[in-house]
Amino acid sequence: MKLVLTIAWRNILRHRGKSLVIGVILFLGALLMTVGNGVISGMAAGIEKNIVNGFMGDIVLISEKQKSENILLDFMGQAIEPITTYKKIKPVLQNQDIVARHLPVGKNLTLVLKEDEATPGGAFLLGVDFAAYQKMFPDNFRIIEGRWPRPGERGLLVPTFAREEMANYMNLWVIPENGTVIKEHMKKETLEHIDALTVSSNVVMMGMASGMNSTSDIRFPVTGIVKYNALSTIFGHFCIADIDSYRECLGYFTAADKAVAVPKEEQKLLNLEGTDLDSLFGVDPLIVSNTRAPGGAAVPGGAAIINNAIVSGSSVTATPLGVENGIYNLVLVKLKDGVPYKTALGRLNRALAEAQTGVRAITWSKASGPIGSMALIIRGALFVFVTLLFCVAVIIIVNTLTMAALERTSELGMMRAIGARKSFIGGMFLGETAILSSIFGGAGIVAGIAAVKLIPLFKITSTNDMVQILYGGDIFHPLLGTSDVLITLMQLVFVTIIAAVYPMHVAGSITPLDAITRD
């Protein structure tokens, strides 16, 4: 082995030009492979941070009746099936040691209305418990105007993207209560028609739940304007409201044992006393007397008490007992570190089925629809790019080594004439390639690691969400771990061996007669 390596090193020095060409190719290939693996790892980490840890969690629970698994962005207006069994779901999740945290949410499309505009806008509405939401996603956005709603307070957080959409399509500029217009927060296009904007500290929304005739126009007080730290265009479609206001907007209300939706016409029937049945056939508005709740508590506005829910003609107010029992549309689940999705899905779906919860678990990539698919496509494209680098490097190195072998026909034929075996000749060529790969390829890996460390310092940013998926966030931040470096080393070894196979065969096939004939 020592003799083979000694002769290989001598040959490298004797053929410096070709050795340098091969070395440069190996250096560039190793550099690009290292940076490429860093980009792929950084993207994976960014997706986990921004989508999984910042908006959806690892696993999403949806109703078994839900047909489409794309529950993040469906602009066709397809409503998400309600979940009425959270009281059963909660203990199942609490008893799973693989679950770190979970959050029930309401999510559906709403129409944004404006009194002096005939054409409504649109926005997705999330209904949450704000305190639980902050614990689940503590760092996914920052409030740039206003504040968080206080405990028990009704309110709406409007993202910057949704506010700009309202300004562009409805001439409506939303500010928090007691806030002012901050021109620095307006885009250039909005500033150009600022005089035509109507400034408001509340937003009127109408729910679009399928099969519901009881959706209401709800005026949401705006408590804050938020900006997502990454993917602000994608996540900026979602306004976040308190769960009670969300349920009223979508026509849901809660009960002690189950949740149902009551159309307005049926609510009027529930409000009628026996002596008021004739008013069904009249043209005058329905007038009912105040009703007493159990225990003598008065219910204002002539509302009726049904299964611990206060039902009125225009809205429904849930009792505290109904918060958990009420309707949600999704349950977002964060897993503990290191839990494989396949394992989690199997365990959760079995437990949920045994508890007869009527829901099923899916991964965030399926729940995010085209966003998850786009992330997988970009990762696949990067992997293909790195693979093509391998192929190009192998082809160039093979051609260069083969030409070097043919040019050294006399030398190799003479070595065969004095007793060198084919295996010795082949080992010599493999040794040459290995030495070049170690020196230049190793230097390329070191340079790639340095590049991955330096790139984040330049803070390369983009406002394009698709580019942000590639970046792994709003700042281009490739990431290299020990496993990534080991993968690059394995790839370099693979390239070295594959590139040397054919030149070794060519060199080993040269005979003393070939050397004499060439001379």
What pLDDT score was predicted for residue 499?
82
Residue 447 placed within a domain? yes
Between 386 and 466, whose confidence is greater? 386
26: pLDDT strictly greater than 90:
no
pLDDT at 330: 96
What is the crossing angle of helices 370-407 and 482-509, to 10°? 30
Highest mean pLDDT among 177-191, 309-323, 501-515: 177-191
483-492 pLDDT per residue, tens: 888 888 888 8
User: What was the pLDDT predicted at 340?
Assistant: 94
Q: Is the pLDDT of residue 235 over 50?
A: yes
Q: So what's the pLDDT on residue 287?
A: 38
Residue 280 included in any domain:
no
When pLDDT is cut at 50, 70 and 90, the band that residue 328 belongs to is very high
Residue 459: is its pLDDT beyond 80? Answer: yes
Mean pLDDT computed over every residue of the chain: 80
Q: Is residue 289 part of a domain?
A: no
pLDDT (mean) for 12-16: 78
Structure tokens at 448: 């790639």
Residue 507 or residue 239, greater confidence? 239
Q: 68: pLDDT confidence band, cut at 50, 70 and 90? A: confident
The burial of 141, by beta-carbon neighbours within 10 Å (0-12 exposed, 13-18 middle, 19 or more buried), is given as buried
| Reported confidence tier of residue 275, pLDDT bands at 50, 70, 90 | very low
Q: How far apart are CA 262 and CA 23, in angstroms?
A: 75
pLDDT at residue number 416: 80
Residue 356 — φ and ψ, nearest 5°?
55, 50
**Range scoring the smallest mean pLDDT among 142-151, 175-184, 397-406, 460-469:** 460-469
Residue 36 within a domain:
yes
Separation between Cα atoms, residue 519 and residue 516, nearest integer Å: 5
Domain-located, residue 209? no
Residues 282-311, mean pLDDT to the nearest whole number: 39
| pLDDT exceeds 80 at position 268 | no
* pLDDT bracket for residue 465 (50, 70, 90): low
Residue 255: band (very low, low, confident or very high) from pLDDT cuts 50, 70, 90: very low
Q: What is the pLDDT of residue 284?
A: 46
Structural domain contains residue 354: no
Beta pairing class for 141-146 and 217-228: antiparallel
Position with higher pLDDT, 194 vs 263: 194
Q: Is residue 411 part of a domain?
A: yes
Q: Above 90 in pLDDT, residue 29?
A: no
Residue 420: pLDDT band (50, 70, 90) is confident
b/e for 127-136, b at 16 or more Cβ within 10 A?
Answer: bbbbeebeeb
518: Cα separation from own chain's centroid: 64
The whole-angstrom separation of Cα 302 and Cα 315 is 12
- Confidence tier at 202 by pLDDT (50, 70, 90): very high
Count of structural domains, the chain? 1
Q: How far is CA 413 from the centre of its chain?
A: 61
The larger pLDDT score, comparing residue 474 to residue 130, is at 130
Domain range holding 503?
Answer: 2-51+372-518
pLDDT beyond 90 at 306: no
- Tell me which range, 12-26, 416-430, 446-460, is most confidently predicted by mean pLDDT: 446-460
Q: 211-220, 351-360, 379-388: which has the minimum mean pLDDT?
A: 211-220
Q: For residue 258, how many other CB atoms are within 10 A of its CB?
A: 13
457: in domain: yes
Model pLDDT, residue 319: 40
Single pTM value for the model: 0.71
Query: Which pLDDT score is estimated for 436?
Result: 87
Q: Six-digit token pair at 424?
A: 């010795």
In whole angstroms, what is the distance from residue 124 CA to residue 239 CA? 6
pLDDT at 352 (0 to 100): 97
Residue 430 clears pLDDT 70, i.e. is over it: yes
Overall average pLDDT of the 118-137 stretch: 91
Of residues 196 and 418, more confidence is placed in: 196
| CA distances (Å), origin 353, targets 71, 107, 238, 326, 347 | 21, 23, 31, 20, 10
Tens digits of residue pLDDT in 69-120: 888 876 555 789 999 999 999 999 999 999 999 999 999 999 999 877 767 8
